[in-house]
Amino acid sequence: MTAPAGTAPPSPPGRHPGLTSAEVAERVARGDVNDVPVRSSRSTQEIVRANVFTRFNAIIGCLFAVIMVVGPPQDGLFGFIIIANTGIGIIQELRAKRTLDNLAVIGEARPRVRRGGETVELTNAQIVLGDLVELGSGDKITVDGQVAEADSLEIDESLLTGEADPVLKRPGDPALSGSFVVAGSGAFTTTRVGREAYAAQLAEEASRFTLVQSELRSGIDTILRYITWLLFPTALGLVLSQLYVEQHNVAEAVRRMVAGIVPMVPEGLVLLTSMAFAIGVVRLGRHQCLVQELPAIEGLARVDTVCLDKTGTLTEGGMDVADLLPLAPPTPDGAAAAAGPAAPDSAPVPYGAAVPDRVAAAADGAGGLAAQVLGVLGGADSRPNASLQAIIDAYPVAEGWLMLRAAPFSSARKWSGASLRGPDGAEATWLLGAPDVLLTAGHPALAEVDLLGAQGLRVLLLGRTVTTLDAPDPAAGLVPVALVVLRQRLRPDAGHTLRYFEQQNVAAKVISGDNAVSVGAVAGSLSLPGAEDPVDARTLPTEAGALADAAEKHSVFGRVTPQQKRDLVAALQSRGHHVAMTGDGVNDVLALKDADIGVAMGAGSEATRAVAQIVLLDNRFATLPLVVAEGRRVIGNIERVANLFLVKTVYSVLLALAVIIARVPYPFLPRHSTVLSALTIGVPGFFLALAPNNERARPGFVRRVLRFAVPAGVICGAASFVSYLLARADHATAQVADTSTTTLTLFLVALWVLAIIARPYNWWRITLVLAMGGAFAVVLITPWLQRFFQLRLDGYRDPWTGVAVALVAGVLLELVWRWLRRTGED
């Protein structure tokens, strides 16, 4: 069936108009709808359950109930704090959920469905069984179906089958959910929708807010597991020892037992971790950044290499035709004179200059035939890419041409084409694509292509051949007709973003399907290091080690196929690099999926958005530094806060063991543990968790935290117990005075730990440390607070002895800190 170019082809016989409104209503009534919820976050019920029903909340809750029975309310303050913390955690996660859900709606794919003979855009949830879904390049197939129409339709099923080569589909072939279109167009009839679809789980998981594959989360879980093992035997020993020591006062024994157990539990660590991630999601959401998997914030902070697709990332999606350079005109029998480009009307345009007026004038003279063919080729693709759209904008459709067959653009073969019948009745195959792919090496036209490419211009070759499109090599016997010169629009923020990565010691690699010289010129205009030495990917070695060497050595790669993008990412990962990949087209999907972090542009194809962990909905490349900074803030600050909590756990366990061995009353009541935890960990930890932090994340989170927390906790515990024993030696029966002295000592040492963790100092960190010290001083000198917290310092000897012990402990802490810094493990 042929159709005049430039007009919408009439509906061919047998072309199905799709379901009618009545048929759709009938299926909805039967429940044959695509009802799989596309979730970008946990449900409200899951958030509440995850924050309330934890093992540590259960422990703290039981201890709180015990205190409410045997003790005064002030000894149960820790329970109210846990309730408040849990409430804050739920509120912050609900805020993150609302942000993610709103952004997910913005970024959700809207399939085109034919109903009643008209094409309409619907949400995935509105698709019903038997719907006719239209397909174009870049579309993701979200439900299972059977191909009904196919026009050179090629579908990539690699995400399902692992097979890298696209599959050419014909009517009657299956269309599997989870695959995506890489070339051509067509339509398929849905056969399985909702939870029956093969990849319904895949579609849901692709956009879920997850907590998996996170070194930070797994590290914290490991730490909590160790603590749980220590907690129960230590707590049991403490219970027995306090009942033995306080035989005549069971209520006092229970209170001091609870005071020893509560600080062992790092209850706020999980809360602050979740809250830091949730607030990070909200902050990024304000910049139209959709985080589809929670570890992506952490993962991008660990990145040391960013692979960038030039088109759509460094450059904007649109292009402009800058020039049309006719080559030696073809003779009637299809032969051509061996000559290079015909002389243009003027010299080539430098990169970044204004588009010349001679583009429109090319429709006359030597370029007239080329301009007409370009207009016809532009009208042949219902889903043009950026290059073809620029040609459509520049050249109107010529009359008198008939399109016999079309081959859409493919990233793998680097060309598109059509079989056309001209106004004179002659038939020929016309190809439009990469000159260095369509022409043989050494062709005179390639010299001009290299000159234009060196200016950062994209060049396409228009050629004519008598070989049919279905031949093994349609480019055989190709006669070059013209060079189409396209100017790409640089993103105004691209240079600034690349400089940011350079400053942060993150290597940027530009991996593009375009001509290597052209890609290098664009990268060079943005001052990318290594742009002066671009590599043509067709010359890359296939051996894994040699490919990894080339990937590390060079920064710009051109003529890269989709599979090679994937191979380059894998090669960098094999050398220990943490790799992020950005892209917007179907040729980036495989690399996005395999990269440690995949970042897609919101205007990109549905397939890229589906496999990426992060989607930049406003298409701003400049948002990436914000994501990196947010990830570094989250990871670096959680590591700081983890140090505080684990120091407390270590000194609490050590104190409990010392009390058990010495068979003395535990030095604190629960109220003392509450004020110590609040002023040295809880309040400052909240501020530290939300502070800026630009240090790149490193592996070994658990090792680094324990290397400081264990010795620091031992020093804190030893100092407080020594102070306690010295105070008891002075007056063995004055338990309030002994407890007050010990509390003073432990507060001073814990404040010193806070001062170390808060480094490097700035005005607000210094203010934070001083404010915590001032708050404790207020507790000590205010009469009603003295009575409420049962803190009273008697005389001078014991308090100053406690201060002296704290100073010695502080010196030891400094020595430990300096040693850790010197060994590079801090």
Using DSSP, state whether 63 is helix, strand or coil: helix
Q: Which residues contact 79 (CB under 8 A, 6 or more apart)?
A: 60, 61, 63, 64, 67, 68
DSSP 692: -
Among 354, 362, 280, which residue's Cα sits nearest to residue 320? 354
Residues in a beta bridge with 190: 145
User: Is 309 part of the annotated catalytic residue set?
Assistant: yes
Helices (H), 493-605: 494-503, 516-525, 544-553, 562-574, 589-594
Altogether, the residues listed in the chain come to a count of 826
Distance CA 207, CA 609 (A): 9
Q: Which residues contact 793 (CB under 8 A, 6 or more apart)?
A: 737, 740, 741, 744, 780, 799
Omega before 480 within 30 of 0, i.e. cis: no
* Residue 750 C-beta-side C-alpha neighbours within 13 Å: 32
Q: Which residues contact 784 (CB under 8 A, 6 or more apart)?
A: none
Q: Looking at 151, 309, 323, 436, which residue is catalytic?
A: 309
Using DSSP, state whether 765 is helix, strand or coil: helix
Q: At residue 205, what are phi and psi to the nearest 5 degrees?
A: -65, -30
What is the residue-wise DSSP string for 63-104? HHHHHHHHS-GGGGHHHHHHHHHHHHHHHHHHHHHHHHHHHH
The answer to whether residues 352 and 505 touch, using CB atoms and an 8 Å cutoff, is no
How many other C-beta atoms can be found within 10 angstroms of the C-beta atom of residue 796?
8
Place of tokens 């400049």: 622
Which tokens in the block code for residue 135?
């397909």
Distance CA 609, CA 602 (A): 7
Distance CA 768, CA 640 (A): 15
- CA dist 777 → 212, 575, 723, 747, 809 (Å): 44, 54, 19, 11, 20
What is the residue-wise DSSP string for 50-62? HHHS-HHHHHHHH
The answer to whether residues 483 and 341 touch, using CB atoms and an 8 Å cutoff, is yes
Q: Which residues contact 464 (CB under 8 A, 6 or more apart)?
A: 330, 334, 428, 429, 430, 431, 478, 479, 481
Distance CA 739, CA 791 (A): 7
Which tokens in the block code for residue 209?
């807010």
Among 487, 491, 485, 319, which residue's Cα sits nearest to residue 393? 319
Distance CA 292, CA 615 (A): 8
Q: At residue 239, what are phi and psi to the nearest 5 degrees?
A: -60, -50
Which tokens in the block code for residue 496?
């600034």
Alpha carbon of residue 219 to chain centroid: 20
Single-letter residue type at 693? N
DSSP 691: S
Q: Which residues are catalytic?
A: 309
